[in-house]
Structure formats: structure tokens, C-alpha cells
Amino acid sequence: MGDTLLQKRFVNNHLDKKLITNQGELPQYYVRNSHPAIITRELFANVQEMLKKNRSTSIPKSTEKHVLYDKVVCGLCHKHYIRKKLRGKYFWQCHTYFYEGKDKCPNKKVPEEVLMKIYKKEHKALQEIIVLGDGRLQVRLDHKAYNKKWSYRPEKKKNGTKTSN
């Protein structure tokens, strides 16, 4: 097409030299025919139409929601946790932490096995699990609530064998 959108990102402070995405702080300028086109406008429009058609007819990845969906909540920013896979294991991580970074929400991810143990024990009365931070969870049931501690590493018993929470 040969078009360019200017000021998509900018440097806010010349001393830091940190590049920031422009989300309306500065005006953006669209320049037509700023450089030689790789593809024609007609081809670009046809491909966009095909992509739009494919999106509307594609089958979603999964129509079933996980049993913990909307049950795990961040105790710091109050957003729901989302399920992520890392090195073959599933974890639940704060939505804010994942999409905006630890500066916005420093709460840690929780291994799914920790949450599933709670779910298997309390699934009939479980309202939500609040991740308080520092290895603490608050489990809210229909008529009561309790706190539970967990850790990434299994705790060692006095005789040297390992146990997990």
C-alpha cells in the first residue's frame, strides 16, 4: 500500500529515552503513498475481507470454561486470575500482572494443583478463592471463609521427606 502511520510511539522524556506507545497523548498522522507499495490496495482489501470471513466461520478453541474460571480473584487489584501454561504445567496468574506488568500488580501466580485441591474439597460451597499474596489464599464458601497457606516448593518434614500443600 505504501502508507505510514506516524507517531505510533514516542519518547516522553529525552533523559530516560524510554519509548512509549501513543494512546492519544500526541496526535498521529497518516501519510498515503509515503514509500513504494509492496502490494496493491485492491489485494490488501481482498485479503482483509478473507480474514474477516475466516474469523466469522472459525471454530473457537474451546467452548467449555474451566471449573475455576471466575473463581480465582487477585486480592491486590481485584481482577480475575487467568489460566496459563508454562513448561507443561498450568498456573493461574493475575490478569493485571500478565497484561500490564508487575508494576501495576505484584501478585504471584498460583500452581493449578494448589487451587484444584481446594476445589475438589470445597466445590459444592465454593464462591471464590482470593489470592492475598505471600503464599496466602482466602477461600470463601457459602457460609464461611478460611485462609490457606501454600508455597511453590514442597515443605520438608522433620524426617527429611517432602510433602506438598
Span 113-120, average pLDDT: 89
66 domain residue, yes or no = no
Same domain, 41 and 77: no
What is the edge-to-edge ordering of all strands in the sheet holding 81-86? 81-86, 89-94, 110-111
Question: What DSSP state is assigned to residue 42?
Answer: H
Same domain, 78 and 14: no
> Which residue type does 71 have?
K
Query: For the whole model, what pTM was predicted?
Result: 0.54
Same domain, 41 and 88: no
64 domain residue, yes or no = no
CB 46 within 8 Å of CB 23: no
What is the residue range of 10's domain?
A: 4-57
Task: Report pLDDT digits (tens) over 35-58.
Answer: 998 999 999 999 999 998 887 776
112 domain residue, yes or no = yes
Same domain, 88 and 149: yes
Same domain, 97 and 44: no
Same domain, 40 and 85: no
98 domain residue, yes or no = yes
At CA 142, angle to CA 139 and CA 147, rounded to 5? Answer: 20
Question: What DSSP state is assigned to residue 94?
Answer: E
Same domain, 43 and 84: no
Strand, coil or helix: 53: helix
Task: Report pLDDT digits (tens) over 3-35.
Answer: 899 999 999 888 888 898 988 899 999 999 899
Same domain, 76 and 150: yes
pLDDT of residue 148: 87
Span 124-134, average pLDDT: 87
pLDDT of residue 27: 94
- Contacts of residue 95, defined as CB under 8 A and 6 or more positions apart, other chains included, come to 74, 79, 80, 81, 82
Nearest Cα neighbor of 134 from 49, 76, 51, 95 is: 76
67 domain residue, yes or no = no
Chain length of the chain? 165
Tally of domains within the chain:
2
Same domain, 25 and 99: no
65 domain residue, yes or no = no
Strand, coil or helix: 39: coil
Same domain, 42 and 85: no
127 domain residue, yes or no = yes
Same domain, 49 and 87: no
Label residue 159 by pLDDT band (50, 70, 90): low
Task: Report pLDDT digits (tens) over 54-100.
Answer: 877 766 665 568 888 888 999 889 899 999 988 888 999 999 888 88
Same domain, 80 and 145: yes
pLDDT of residue 163: 52
Write the DSSP string, 96-134. HHHHH-TTT--PPPEEHHHHHHHHHHHTTTEEEEEEEET
